[in-house]
Amino acid sequence: MMERLMAIIKKAGGMILAADLEHADVEVKSTRGDLRTNYDTAVEEFLRRELALVLPEAQFIGEESGLQKREADKYCFIVDPIDGTANFTWDYHHSAVSIALAKGERILAGLVYNPYLDELFHARAGEGAYLNGRLIQVSQRSLRDGLICFGTSPYDKTKAAATFSLARLLYEKSLDVRRSGSAALDLCYVACGRCDLFYEMSLYPWDYAAAALIVTEAGGMLATMEGEELRFSDRTTLVAGGPPAFRDFWELYI
């Protein structure tokens, strides 16, 4: 099945690369800055169709069709057609397609594809995490020696004060901070050691479901920022990192 999912996600990435941005329809969703283009919709519809051919009995949850209740004993695809829609709209070349296959609260497979760099991250539960077929591992850097990525929860600006005061603290305690515009890629960058810790105070399952498995399969640690086990049904806070940076984070944050 993984081969088929890889072929599907690469085709979806091709749709992103082929987009005619000058003539894209851009609509505002929940708040200013929360955008949907005709490409978000088209890629999601493509994924819904193709994934139904791979596993007809599976439910489908995608960002553009919204959260639904998952049946505990059923397979479910959790999909973000374009993670990094603002980046996509601005032609920033840092966005990804994300596909997770879940059963209950377990993620069985996760794929995140950045078409601009032709980078495909994937993992199957219990089988390690890979970037373009090469095994990847999280870093073993301490927070002090690390680069920290964070997301700004741009659709919930009530989180701004907490987000940026933590960014300030982590900036002082680490080497530097980054904000990329794609939570799925931030997590995959943690998985392959390009950054050492990531946090964001409001994410939906389609932003992190696939990449969360990629992080754990690469030896990383994840939790909600309340210190609870991550779930895949609703909006959440999230922190992820290589083990040393993750431990250092909790000493600062508690």
Site residues for Ca ion per CB under 5 A: 63, 80, 82-83, 85, 207
| Whole-number Cα distances in Å, 140 to 86, 166, 241 | 32, 22, 9
The stretch near ligand IPD (CB under 6 A) out of 7-15, 47-55, 103-111, 152-160 is: 152-160
- For residues 81 and 37, the answer to whether their CB atoms sit within 8 Å is no
Q: Which does 84 bind (CB under 5 to 8 A by kind): ligand IPD, Ca ion, none?
A: ligand IPD
Q: H/E/C letters for each residue in 178-231? A: ECCCCHHHHHHHHHCCCCCEEEEEEECHHHHHHHHHHHHHCCCEEECCCCCCCC
Task: Tell me which residue has tokens 């696939």.
Answer: 210
Question: What's the farthest any 2 CA atoms get from each other in the chain?
Answer: 50
| Residue 80 sits in the site that holds ligand IPD (CB under 6 A) | yes
Burial of 167 (0-12, 13-18, 19+ CB in 10 A): middle
Q: How far is the CB of 40 from Ca ion (least distance, A)?
A: 6
d(CA 23, CA 15): 15
Near ligand IPD in 40-79, by CB under 6 A:
63
What's the min distance (Å) between Cβ of 13 and ligand IPD? 15
Residue with smaller CB distance to ligand IPD, 62 or 244: 62
Residues 173-202 that bind ligand IPD (CB under 6 A): 181-183, 200
CB atoms closer than 10 angstroms to residue 72: 9
Q: Which one of 10-18, 45-53, 103-111, 147-155 is the stretch in contact with ligand IPD (CB under 6 A)?
A: 147-155
State the minimum distance, in angstroms, from the CB of residue 136 to ligand IPD.
20
Q: Is 114 one of the binding residues for ligand IPD (CB under 6 A)?
A: no
Catalog residues that contact ligand IPD under the rule CB under 6 A.
63, 80, 83-86, 151-154, 181-183, 200, 203, 207
